[in-house]
Chain A
Amino acid sequence: MDGYAIQLENFEGPLDLLLHLIKKNEMDVYDIPMAAITEQYLAILDTMKTLNLDLAGEFLLMAATLLHIKSKLLLPKIVEEELEEEEEDPRAELVRRLLEYQKYKEVSLTLDHSPQLGRDVFARVAPQPEVLEEAEAGFVAVGLYDLLEALREVIKENPEQLVHEVNMEQLSVTDRINAILSALQGKESVAFVDLFSDGIKRNEVIVTFLALLELVKLRLVRFMQNVHHGSIWLFPAVVIDENENLDVGDDSLGYS
């Protein structure tokens, strides 16, 4: 066999390899000679094996597909055609995939050749001063550590009572989220500590805290404090990011 002195590792996958073989042999893509192409394809797989190239499963899968199509073509055409009005050429799907693959392969080359930021064109990198949002002048956003510190305070003030009791409790983050949202309703802000009323149990603290984190994640509330390490306030923030239309349902919270 000649002509297999191709750089094997250059093939992105079985479709790429098939495209190459079909083009090289000037085969008609709509009438691929299955016997010939299968033989060549398998021969290349053999070469890859002898070269100890890591033969990806996809190549083997395609080999199986080719053999399957080939055998289908060998089967005599049965009169069943009356049932299935027009039985599709077994090669049709493969042809579609090849042409489709070729389309994206070509456009990916076009993309690669087009000017890329950081490679062909450069933009200024302007260091931006940190600017406070005007609406919250005087308030600064709360960092994670401040939030954890506040949680620690709450837990410290509500030490766990060493009483042994066994009972069923239903704590739901979703319920807590709704409770917090209704507490915020109509108000401009709520103090962080007010969410943890006196005598609140440890597990309730945790559920409340998780609910708060979820609310921040969902961008329904914002935490602000007037000075660093000052008391933390909760602001409703129903500002939907124009870029992120996250459709958040109950199940996406991961709790129920």
Chain B
Amino acid sequence: MIPLDTLELIQLVEALIFAADGPIKAERMAEALDTEQTEILAAIEALEVDYAERPRGFFLQEVSGGYQLRTRPEYADFLRKLGHNRPFKFSRPALESLAIIAYRQPVTRSEVEYLRGVDSGSVLKTLLEKRLIRILGKKDVPGKPMIYGTTREFLELFGLADLSALPTLREFSELMPDEENGVAGGDDEGVSLPLLIDEDVVEESSVTKP
């Protein structure tokens, strides 16, 4: 059996994650509980095992360098009925620009526009307003253009531990069959959806590595 203090630590970690205002970092928890980070990570792992054995309505996700409890995606429809905040729906230009910035940051507006072949000024402004991207500084080239990168909010929105957790960018040397220009179409096939498949949810959330 688990000795009491370990059990207590697990519960304390759960309490901290539960009460936190956003993703909470392991080091902050270690500070609050006056213990080693490794202990915290062990407790998190134990929690994940526990959640996997006895699934809850939520799962533990490593987000933006911290940990957060989130409701399971398959319950989204019901939660939306609760009138939870109106989901922000991405337009295709916004998504494309965001993807380019996420993968190529730091990047200038003209680089985004070259890749998309379309003026992207207003899209970038919207993304800035939504705080999904931020200005990182100015590039040291003539005209000193602003350079952009993604924010903590971006990682939180997509549930990414960090930028390396972005879906792998597939290198194409050929054209892919057309996906019929539908973003909001809801056809899920053809794209890898790590978290949308029911059984995978718990597993996915438990593979977070320290």
Contact = CB atoms under 8 A, between A and B. Distances in A.
Contact of B70 (A19, A98, A102, A122): A122
A122 to B, nearest CB: 5
Interface stretch (B4-12, B48-56, B96-104): B96-104
A70 B12 CA distance: 69
B69 A123 contact: yes
A113 interface: yes
Interface stretch (A8-16, A42-50, A157-165, A195-203): A8-16
A62 B159 contact: no
A221 B9 CA distance: 38
Nearest to B192: A110
Contact of A119 (B21, B88, B102, B173): B88
A57 to B, nearest CB: 8
B157 A110 contact: no
A56 B118 CA distance: 9
A113 B193 contact: yes
Given A12-B118, A120-B73, A104 B100 contact: yes
A121 to B, nearest CB: 4
A58 B119 contact: yes
A229 interface: no
A113 B84 contact: no
A111 interface: yes
A133 interface: no
A20 B178 contact: yes
A103 B167 contact: no
Given A19-B175, A109-B183, A119-B87, A14 B72 contact: no
B134 to A, nearest CB: 9
A105 interface: yes
A147 to B, nearest CB: 26
Contacts of A101: 115-117
A124 B87 contact: no
Contacts of A19: 175, 178
Contacts of B194: 114
Contact of A99 (B19, B90, B172): B172
**Contact-size category for A:** 35 or more
A99 B88 contact: no
B79 interface: yes
B76 A107 contact: no
A101 B117 CA distance: 9
A122 B117 contact: no
Interface string A125-146: 0101000000000000000000
Interface residues of B, number: 66
Contact of A102 (B22, B100, B166, B176): B176
Nearest to B95: A108
Residue among B76, B84, B98, B103 with the most chain A CB within 10 A?
A: B76
B99 A107 contact: yes
B118 A104 contact: no
Nearest to A17: B117
A29 interface: yes
A29 B175 contact: yes
A126 B20 contact: yes
A84 interface: no
Nearest to A57: B119
B102 to A, nearest CB: 8
A23 interface: yes
Interface string A85-104: 00000000000011111111
Interface of A: 7, 10-16, 19-20, 22-24, 29, 56-58, 62, 97-124, 126, 128, 243, 246-247, 252
12 contacts: A15-B117, A16-B117, A99-B172, A100-B115, A106-B172, A108-B95, A108-B99, A112-B90, A113-B193, A122-B79, A123-B69, A252-B138
What are the nearest 3 A-B pairs in CB distance?
A13-B118, A119-B87, A15-B117
Given A106-B179, A117-B158, 6 more contacts: A15-B116, A19-B175, A19-B178, A23-B178, A104-B116, A108-B99
Interface of B: 18-22, 61, 68-73, 76, 79-80, 84-85, 87-90, 92-93, 95-96, 98-100, 102-103, 114-119, 137-138, 152, 156-159, 166-167, 169-179, 181, 183-184, 188, 191-196
